[in-house]
């Protein structure tokens, strides 16, 4: 039988990777697809709430001990601090952003990383300034809750170059 020499090694590598994934509790197949879809839905709910300046809806997307790390600001840790941080943000600016998912990695059965970027407009509240372009890059760590919902445990973002 004339087999390609990598065939056996390739199959062994796939089997090893599958065993490791199963041993680490990493989701594959339909479970992976369901988790990825649920994570995307969490980001969609965040986008909608952010664009409505809805502090209460945003805070509910975080775990009880969630952390937001905004540029040039202290970390907001826990729901009360998150509520205060978002309320202050919405007093200062109004955002209209569209998020694009760049990467989702399931790091275990109940932890995931989401990397995204967003683009849209920003308006400084209380000023006669026109809407200006805005762009950001974001990194979220999410935890799957007992009810199956994914929530943000950590979120950091920074400004990104504005491209047409």
pTM of the model: 0.81
At 29 the pLDDT is 65
Q: How far apart are CA 143 and CA 137, in angstroms?
A: 20
Q: Return the CATH fold of 27-159.
A: Nuclear Transport Factor 2; Chain: A, (3.10.450)
**For residue range 8-59, what is the model confidence (pLDDT) as tens digits?**
444 344 333 343 344 444 445 667 899 999 999 999 999 999 999 999 999 9
Long-range contact pairs involving 30-38 (C-beta distance under 8 Å, separation at least 24):
32/106, 35/106, 35/112, 35/144, 35/150, 36/104, 36/106, 38/148, 38/149, 38/150
Mean pLDDT of the chain: 86
Give the CA angle between residues 35, 38, 41 to the nearest 5°.
155
* Token pair 């000023």 in the structure block, residue: 127
Please, which pLDDT band fits residue 127 given cuts at 50, 70 and 90?
A: confident
């Amino acid at each position: 039988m004339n087999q390609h020499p990598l065939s056996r090694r390739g199959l062994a590598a796939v089997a090893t990777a599958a065993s490791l994934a199963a041993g680490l509790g990493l989701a594959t197949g339909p479970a992976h697809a369901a988790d990825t879809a649920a994570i995307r839905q969490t980001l969609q709910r965040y986008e909608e709430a952010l664009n409505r300046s809805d502090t209460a809806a945003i805070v509910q997307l975080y775990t009880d001990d969630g952390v937001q790390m905004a540029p040039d600001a202290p970390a907001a840790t826990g729901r009360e601090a998150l509520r205060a941080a978002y309320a202050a943000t919405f007093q200062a600016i109004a955002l209209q952003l569209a998020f694009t998912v760049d990467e989702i990695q399931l790091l275990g059965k109940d932890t995931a990383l989401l990397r995204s970027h967003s683009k849209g407009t920003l308006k400084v509240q209380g000023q006669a300034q026109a809407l200006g372009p805005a762009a950001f890059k974001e990194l979220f760590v999410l935890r799957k809750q007992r009810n199956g919902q994914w929530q943000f445990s950590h979120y950091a973002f920074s400004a990104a170059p504005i491209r047409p």
